[in-house]
Amino acid sequence: MKVFKFGGASVKDAEAIRNVGSILLRFEHEPVLVVVSAMGKTTNKLEACLSYLLAQDQLNYYHTVDELRDFHVDIAGELFHDEHRKVFTFIDDLFEQLKNKFEKPLAEQRSFEYDQVVSLGEVLSSFIINEYVLEHGLKSEWLDARRLIRTDNHYQEANVNWEKSEALITARLETSIHNTNTYITQGFIGHTAEGFTTTLGREGSDYSAAIFAFCTNASEVTIWKDVPGMLNADPKYFENTQLLSQISYREAIELAYFGASVIHPKTIKPLQNKGIPLFVKSFLAPDEPGTTIQSEGGNDHLIPSFIVKKNQVLITISSADFSFINEDALAKIFEIFYSNRIKINLMQNSALNFSVLVDGDKVHMESLLGKLSPTFKCKYNEGVELVTIRHYNQSTINQMISGRDVLLEQRSRQTARFVIR
């Protein structure tokens, strides 16, 4: 089995979906399991719906739900004839149910409601795409990841139960219709033992592809992107980017961890554990080789990579009474970050200070400071950038930081990191 993943940009409109169909037709004679994301910006829109729902803002809720329904109906209208009632009925029913949610009592837990609402984008896209490829001659089946990927009930960032998922997926594939070669399913979503829908964290569809690959012992995974493969820098901000044609799992995990947004950081581990190679290729140029990620690391050092994370907040924490930031104080600080689900992008300590860097758009500073303030004093700088250079040398460092104000720096043998403004 091969596993393919198509992200939101690759299914953003009717033309993009036709292109996905043409790629899948190339593989019509071999088993392929296809994981798709929600179309275009659907997930963001569903997040907006959820906010209106929680705020009990009926006008905006209905308006946003309708916009999203029209978006899907328009795409379906371009892909199918009116007679293809199955797709239009599916879309109508799903949005009808979403609308009706407004009248119903809400669960106390926000993250539970999040998962029930925001998971729907993938359900829609996978259904539409499956019907589309069926019409174009592929022997395809729709798989419901809400029956196959088993997770705990850590809503919005659920943890996978590997054994259960493997058993469920294997059993489901055994019952598949004779002759099926293509399976289309959803990224990003799973379910709890009680049957409630969960999500795996934003941008989690890559991870879903890795979960399906792990559970089916796939021969390879391909992530189809709108870039030629993994590049050594984000082409949105850098000229003359270079393709990393062969890198190791380790290198890919480091790059993803430092913020290269090409693949979700959780994707690599399950693939590495089973030695399943990962290809990152362009859906616009499917014949190009793209990037291969596997165990061999001989080429990792050849090309320096540059990763810039903007909109960071550098927080410096010190004890209120001039005592050391010792292990006890660190444990308290980590507990606050952990329980508030705030990820730390970089940290550094001295006798009296502990500095951490966090994503500005994911942290509510006032509430965080409120939690730290009884025990600690805090200072912070907003709007700073984190620059990471893998396989650096002096000239690459100069290129990135000259003329900038460096607030903090860290170097290991492979990696140099700078907080700059």
By C-beta, is 278 or 346 nearer to ligand ASP? 278
**Shortest distance in whole angstroms from residue 225 CB to ligand ASP:** 12
Distance linking the first and last C-alpha atoms of the chain: 48
Q: Which is nearer to Mg ion, 7 or 228 (CB)?
A: 7
3-state secondary structure of 98: helix
**CA gap 121, 37 in Å, rounded:** 8
Per CB under 6 A, the segment of 159-167, 197-205, 290-298, 302-310 that binds ligand ASP is 197-205
**Contact predicate 8/43, CB 8 Å:** yes
Q: Which of 267, 229, 224, 262 is nearest to 10 (CA)?
A: 224
Q: According to the binding rule CB under 5 A, does residue 304 interact with Mg ion?
A: no
Q: How far is the CB of 43 from ligand ASP (least distance, A)?
A: 4
Which residues, numbered 13-42, are part of the site for ligand ASP (CB under 6 A)? 37-38
Q: Is 265 in the site for ligand ASP (CB under 6 A)?
A: no
Question: What does the DSSP 8-state code read for residue 59?
Answer: H
Say whether residue 187 binds ligand ASP (CB under 6 A): yes
Of 199-207, 252-260, 273-281, 345-353, the segment contacting ligand ASP by CB under 6 A is: 199-207
State the nearest-atom distance from the C-beta of 413 to Mg ion, in Å. Answer: 32
Beta carbon of residue 130, minimum distance to ligand ASP (angstroms, whole number): 17
β-strand pairing of 197-199 with 189-191: antiparallel
Closest CA to 8 of 73, 75, 60: 75
Residues in the chain: 421
The side-by-side arrangement of strands in the sheet containing 246-248 is 140-142, 182-186, 32-36, 2-6, 220-225, 278-282, 291-294, 246-248
Q: Phi, psi at residue 2, to the nearest 5°? A: -100, 145
Residues 6+ apart with CB under 8 A from 160: 149, 150, 151, 190, 200, 211
Does position 8 interact with Mg ion (CB under 5 A)? The reply is yes
Which of ligand ASP, Mg ion, none does residue 228 bind (CB under 5 to 8 Å by kind)? none
- The nearest distance, CB 35 to Mg ion, in angstroms, is 11
Task: Scan residues 21-80 and list those touching Mg ion (CB under 5 A).
Answer: 37
CB 199, min distance to ligand ASP, A: 8
Tokens found for residue 34: 């296809």
Q: Which stretch binds ligand ASP (CB under 6 A): 16-24, 90-98, 202-210, 391-399?
A: 202-210
User: Which residue number has the CB closest to Mg ion?
Assistant: 7
Site residues (CB under 5 A) for Mg ion, limited to 257-276: none
Q: Site residues (CB under 6 A) for ligand ASP?
A: 7-8, 37-38, 43, 121, 187-188, 202-205
Q: Site residues (CB under 5 A) for Mg ion?
A: 7-8, 37, 203
